[in-house]
């Protein structure tokens, strides 16, 4: 396995700060400060071609070169974690993923994942190209709740994967966004790519981004926010969150993309998922109602001011 290389230059805004903090920000949520310190101490980080200490003071114009070693090979491990199962047969298992649960193991998130819980429940899942993602054909962000499907055998994995690639899966989301959305219905078409500075984020990138299309409908307007339902024609990383920020209406609680910190997580929920059953070909659809934390805001018509 080859190492991933990351090169970036320190800008004026980051001059004077510790290099380990800046690297942790660049690498994203999957890397703790302890992991970054290990990379630096083990010589995987060079600044202007030289090794530095974690407390090195970054200067504008410094070129930072990071070699990220691949993770030690290891399959996802089953864990006895409760699941809310909406439907299950020998082909698929459909679940209501809670907010706060990571879908599959990754750097910094080896335990407590949905994959580990499903492995414990099912005993075995079909292998995918990534050993950490058995049975996974789509994902939800950690702090997005709602309906997901996982394949239980190879044929189901191929069938569902093809449906997601061909965009024949129906995906409906509920979201609460800052501000009063003007149009009752609308379409957001804006290509998405990785943010050029902060690798944790995606952004609208007209030149290099991949096409992305989101359809939205206003359910109800309130004084400070709007309740939306959305359908995805594509499934890009963070698509709804970035598109709504681009439109000027960030998702409540989405601190990454500028949403007001009025909830403990982003107010985004996978409400409905429809697909063709891998065995019968019959169209099936599963719905999970808007969860309690979002409903409290909707019923009050306002949010509590952020604490602290």
Q: pLDDT tens-digit profile of 247-303? A: 999 999 999 999 998 898 999 999 999 999 999 999 999 999 999 999 999 999 887
Are 308 and 212 contained in the same domain?
yes
Model pLDDT for residues 118-169, shown as the tens digit of each residue: 999 998 888 765 555 788 889 899 999 999 999 999 999 999 999 998 999 9
Name which residue leads in pLDDT, 198 or 145.
145
Are 84 and 57 contained in the same domain?
no
Q: In sequence order, what are the beta bridge partners of 93?
A: 88, 150
Q: Give the burial class of 86: count Cβ atoms within 10 A of its Cβ; 0-12 exposed, 13-18 middle, 19 or more buried.
A: middle
pTM metric for this prediction: 0.74
92, 151 Cβ separation under 8 angstroms: yes
User: At how many degrees (to 10) do helices 19-27 and 33-41 cross?
Assistant: 110
Name which residue leads in pLDDT, 230 or 201.
230
Query: What's the domain count of the chain?
Result: 3
Choosing from 14, 20, 62, 141, which is the catalytic residue? 141
Q: Which residue, of 68, 87, 103, is where some domain finishes? A: 68
Residue 256 CB neighbour total at 10 angstroms: 19
Model confidence at 8, pLDDT cuts 50, 70, 90, reads confident
Element containing residue 39 per DSSP (H, E)? helix 33-41
In the predicted structure, residue 181 carries a pLDDT above the cut 80: yes
Pairing outcome for strands 85-88 and 92-97 = antiparallel
Model confidence at 107, pLDDT cuts 50, 70, 90, reads low
Highest mean pLDDT among 7-16, 177-186, 188-197: 177-186
In the predicted structure, residue 207 carries a pLDDT above the cut 90: no
Are 32 and 59 contained in the same domain?
yes
Torsional class of 131: left (φ above 0), alpha (ψ -120 to 50), beta (otherwise) = alpha
Task: Quote the CA–CA distance of 289 and 256 in Å, as a whole number.
Answer: 25
Q: Which residue, of 23, 48, 68, is where some domain finishes? A: 68
Please confirm, yes or no, whether 279 is among the known catalytic residues: no
Task: Quote the CA–CA distance of 226 and 37 in Å, as a whole number.
Answer: 43
Task: Quote the CA–CA distance of 23 and 143 in Å, as a whole number.
Answer: 24
**How confident is the model at residue 24, as a pLDDT?**
83
Question: Shortest CA distance to 138 belongs to which of 200, 201, 94?
Answer: 94
Task: Quote the CA–CA distance of 141 and 124 in Å, as a whole number.
Answer: 24
**How confident is the model at residue 67, as a pLDDT?**
85
**Mean of the per-residue pLDDT values for the chain?**
88
Task: Quote the CA–CA distance of 56 and 178 in Å, as a whole number.
Answer: 39
- What does DSSP assign to residue 107? T
Q: In sequence order, what are the beta bridge partners of 177?
A: 226, 251
In the predicted structure, residue 110 carries a pLDDT above the cut 70: no
Are 171 and 305 contained in the same domain?
yes
Are 204 and 133 contained in the same domain?
no
Are 207 and 295 contained in the same domain?
yes
Range 95-120 average pLDDT: 84
**How confident is the model at residue 74, as a pLDDT?**
47
Least confident window among 3-12, 29-38, 57-66, 171-180: 29-38
CATH code of the domain covering residue 156: 3.30.2350.10
All residues at 6 or more sequence positions from 262 whose CB lies less than 8 Å from its CB, including other chains:
252, 253, 297, 303, 304, 305, 306
Q: Which domain does 121 fall in, by range?
A: 72-166
In the predicted structure, residue 2 carries a pLDDT above the cut 60: no
């Amino acid at each position: 396995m080859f190492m991933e290389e990351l090169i970036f230059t320190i800008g004026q805004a980051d001059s004077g700060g510790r290099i380990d903090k800046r690297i942790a920000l660049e690498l994203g949520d999957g890397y703790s400060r302890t992991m970054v310190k290990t990379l630096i101490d083990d010589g995987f980080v060079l600044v202007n071609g030289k090794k530095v200490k974690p407390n090195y003071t970054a200067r504008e114009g410094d070129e930072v070169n990071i070699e990220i070693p691949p993770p030690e090979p290891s399959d996802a491990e089953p864990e006895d974690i409760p699941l809310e199962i909406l439907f299950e047969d020998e082909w698929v298992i459909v679940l209501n993923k809670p907010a706060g649960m990571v879908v599959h193991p990754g750097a910094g998130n080896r335990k407590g994942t949905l994959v580990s819980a499903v492995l414990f429940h099912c005993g075995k899942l079909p292998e995918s190209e990534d050993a950490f993602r058995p049975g996974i054909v789509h994902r939800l962000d950690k702090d997005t709740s709602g309906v997901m499907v996982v394949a239980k055998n190879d044929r189901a994995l191929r069938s569902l994967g093809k449906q997601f690639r061909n965009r024949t899966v129906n995906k409906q989301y509920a979201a609460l966004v800052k501000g009063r959305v003007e149009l009752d219905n609308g379409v957001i078409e804006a290509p998405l790519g990785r943010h050029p500075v902060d690798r944790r984020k995606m952004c609208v990138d007209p030149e290099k981004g991949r096409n992305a299309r989101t359809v939205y409908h206003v359910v109800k307007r309130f004084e400070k926010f709007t309740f939306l339902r959305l359908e995805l024609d594509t499934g890009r990383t963070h698509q709804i969150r970035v598109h709504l920020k681009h439109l000027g209406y960030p998702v409540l609680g989405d601190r990454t993309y500028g949403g007001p910190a009025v909830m403990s997580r982003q107010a985004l929920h996978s409400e409905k998922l429809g697909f063709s059953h891998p065995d019968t070909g019959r169209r099936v659809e599963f719905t999970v109602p808007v969860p309690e934390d979002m409903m409290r805001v909707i019923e009050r018509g306002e949010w509590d001011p952020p604490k602290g």
